[in-house]
């Protein structure tokens, strides 16, 4: 996907920062950052690797655990709209069997653990009749740790294979989740209400990011509803008659590719679309931002007025600029 951006380029760290450097230089800027090889020392990166008998290891450790996966009607695209998917419960061992079946269909895992953008092929718009369940099922956001719903944490036995990055020390983590797709998959464009550190354990992911200010071009769903944090428009080939502002969305985006061991910080409110290569496994950490945690409710109306005024002023400046530009073209 070609992208362009009017914002500073996403910072890339070749070594992990200290917790103080992360907080002051990354988190407080509310701007994404990539950390190369941040998780490469995890046991998970070797023990869960499908090319290193990782699926057998996962089945042995947690095969009897009942997990909840997404079964998509629009695979390989998984969206937040409940009408486009259903959640199905199955033993983790059954999900792993789907992964093994897909590996066999690809020729003993060829291409599963690719380490560059070459691991992504063009996304089809829909399934063909030959497609089957392994290409449609996705283990998404299944908890390894959850500070509010401990009873739902069924895969905590895998917690010992991962380590919280040192620069997240002192953060009050709300959850740690595993993400695992049996075949190439895409999570539709959305934002999260928490800060997010997404770490690739095996395979690769391509992440396209938009700042919250790009929201008008992304047409978020109505604020009340299950998918209110999702974009309502497909950005590869948008219907510009229905979504004319989507034409400008890519000008505000940036794209990063993550290989095994890499991670990306996605601040709260940043829209992101995630493409996952064949049989990719990832872990993410969520925590509440200081901005939200320190915002007292009795100030909401005041902040709303200030923000509304700032948005209106910005819109007026943009319209004035457009009018001036059109007049200049006539000269």
CA distance linking residue 85 with residue 78, whole number of Å: 7
With beta carbons less than 8 A apart as the criterion, state whether 102 and 182 touch. yes
Cβ proximity of 103 and 51 under 8 Å:
no
Q: Are 5 and 254 in contact (CB under 8 A)?
A: yes
Mind listing the pLDDT tens digit of every residue in the chain (331 residues)? 444 455 789 999 999 999 999 999 999 999 999 999 999 999 999 999 999 999 999 999 999 999 998 887 666 777 665 556 678 899 999 999 999 998 888 775 444 544 444 566 665 543 333 444 445 788 998 999 887 777 677 899 999 999 999 999 999 999 999 999 988 888 889 999 999 999 999 999 999 999 999 999 999 998 887 788 999 888 778 888 899 989 888 888 999 999 999 999 999 999 999 999 999 999 999 999 887 777 788 888 888 898 889 888 887 887 787 777 666 656 5
Of 124, 146, 144, which Cα lies nearest the Cα of 135? 124
- How many C-beta neighbours within 10 Å does residue 302 have? 9
Token readout for 31 is 């701007």
SS3 category, 185? strand
Count of CB atoms within 10 A of residue 42's CB? 19
**% helix / strand / coil in the chain, to the nearest 5?**
35, 25, 40
CA distances from 322 to 12, 15, 20, 300, 328 (A): 34, 43, 42, 33, 10
Tokens coding 298: 């009795």
Task: Tell me the two tokens of residue 5.
Answer: 């951006």
Radius of gyration over every alpha carbon of the chain, rounded to an integer in angstroms: 21
At which residue do the structure tokens 């992304």 appear? 218
Task: Please enumerate in sequence order all residues whose Cβ is within 8 A of that of 272, keeping only pairs 6 or more positions apart, or say none.
Answer: 189, 190, 191, 207, 208, 209, 210, 266
Residue from 63, 106, 127 nearest 279 by CA: 106
Into which CATH architecture does domain 11-291 fall? Sandwich (2.60)
Of 114, 132, 129, 128, the residue nearest 278 (C-alpha): 114
């Amino acid at each position: 996907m070609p992208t362009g951006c009017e914002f500073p380029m996403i910072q890339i760290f070749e070594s992990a920062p200290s917790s103080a450097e992360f907080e002051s230089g990354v988190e407080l800027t509310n701007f994404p950052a990539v950390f190369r090889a941040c998780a490469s020392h995890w046991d998970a990166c070797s023990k869960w690797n499908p090319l290193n008998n990782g699926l057998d290891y996962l089945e042995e450790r947690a095969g009897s655990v009942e997990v909840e996966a997404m079964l998509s009607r629009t695979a390989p695209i998984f969206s937040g709209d409940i009408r486009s998917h259903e959640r199905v419960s199955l033993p983790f061992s059954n999900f792993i069997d789907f992964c093994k079946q897909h590996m066999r269909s690809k020729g003993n895992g060829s291409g599963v653990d690719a380490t560059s953008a070459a691991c992504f092929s063009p996304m089809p718009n829909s399934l063909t009749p030959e497609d089957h369940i392994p290409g449609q099922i996705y283990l998404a956001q299944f908890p390894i740790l959850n500070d509010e719903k401990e009873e739902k944490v069924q895969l905590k036995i895998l917690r010992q294979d991962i380590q919280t990055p040192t620069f997240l020390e002192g953060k009050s983590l709300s959850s740690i989740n595993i993400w695992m797709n049996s075949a190439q998959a895409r999570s539709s464009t959305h934002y999260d209400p928490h800060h997010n550190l997404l770490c690739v354990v095996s395979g690769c992911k391509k992440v396209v990011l938009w700042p919250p200010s790009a929201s008008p071009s992304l047409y978020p769903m109505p604020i009340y509803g299950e998918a209110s944090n999702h974009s309502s428009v497909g950005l590869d080939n948008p219907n510009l008659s229905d979504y004319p502002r989507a034409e400008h969305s890519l000008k505000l985006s940036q794209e990063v590719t993550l290989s095994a061991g890499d991670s990306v910080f996605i601040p709260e409110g940043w829209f992101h679309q995630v493409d996952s290569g064949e049989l990719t496994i990832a872990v993410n950490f969520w925590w509440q931002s200081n901005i939200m945690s320190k915002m007292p409710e009795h100030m909401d109306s005041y902040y709303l007025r200030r923000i509304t005024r700032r948005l209106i002023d910005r819109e007026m400046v943009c319209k004035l600029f457009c009018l001036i530009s059109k007049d200049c073209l006539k000269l």
